[in-house]
Structure 1
Amino acid sequence: MLNVLSILLGLVALLMAIPSAIPFLGWGNWIVLPVAILGAGLGALSSKNGGRNFCLIVLLIAVVRLSLGGGIF
């Protein structure tokens, strides 16, 4: 059950991260980060790794986008 919740949180974070890739909307990645971290935490509590890995990939996408835009020093 926690794996399913983790995947759902990862999908929500991914859907928020897609428009955040547009210039001047990169601030949305700051909203994506806590959602993806929460999903990864739920996935870590699960017995399966799929949801955790998906959330970590979404988290990596958001962090790379923030670093390219200068949002992370």
Structure 2
Amino acid sequence: MSTFFYGIEDLFVNYLFWPYDTFRAMTNWWTSNSINWIFVIIGAVAFYYWMGQLNIFNKNNEEDKTISSHSYL
């Protein structure tokens, strides 16, 4: 069973996460965290898109806002 877990370790450490080892050698903080900044930008764009869609539905009054809209209320 231990060889199974060593195999998982080998897969992640030596194959899937090897690009992150190059970021450790960089001395500039901004370039070493570029992947994180890309994810933050993608998340911000998705957040603003989602809020825009909610605003469209709110302006069209398509949402049921009555108190009895859910059975548990």
Where relative contact order (Cα < 8 A, 6+ residues apart) is larger, the structure is 1
Same fold (TM over 0.5): no
Structure showing greater radius of gyration is: 2
Name whichever structure is richer in helix by fraction: 1
TM-score (norm 2): 0.34
